[in-house]
Amino acid sequence: MADTPDLGKLWKQLTDNVGGGMSEALDKLKKSSIGEQVQSWIGKGENKPVNADQVTQAIGQDQMEQIAQQAGTTPEQAAQTMAEKLPGMVDKMTPDGQLPNPQSIRDNVAGAAQNTQNAATSTAQTAMPRSNPTPPAM
């Protein structure tokens, strides 16, 4: 059985396959058979669930196979992960009930990557034994 694929990789493959980024990917999903559910994820209120078959139907079998292959998993596992995690991810990306502008998304992603890198550097520095500092020259 394949490990659960990373939602970030699946999302990247989805946006790459659709082209144009998050807005276009969500537009495609909103115009699909799961449009009502996708709208509930974006809007305020309860996130309506979807299942793996619905996600596959919405994205298309061929695209799901391509996304899964590029993410290193099976189409079934990719669809299952998307069905479980997309509602919460989209909900968090749209806290005001609407899509943020693309620049703020890029800024948030860049900021998150920088924070992760800073945290890793800080952790590495904390974990390294400290040598005796050289006394200041007088």
pLDDT in tens, 28-49: 999 999 999 999 999 988 999 9
Long-range Cβ pairs for the range 101-109 (8 Å, 24+): 102/21, 102/22, 102/23, 105/21, 105/22
**What is the sign, positive or negative, of the torsion defined by CA atoms of 69, 73, 74, 80?**
negative
**pLDDT of 62-112, one tens digit each?**
999 999 999 999 999 999 999 999 999 999 888 888 776 655 555 555 555
Output the pTM of the full model: 0.68
The total of other beta-carbon atoms located within 10 Å of residue 107's CB is 12
- Distance CA(122)–CA(29), nearest Å, equals 40
Nearest Cα neighbor of 7 from 60, 84, 75, 97 is 84
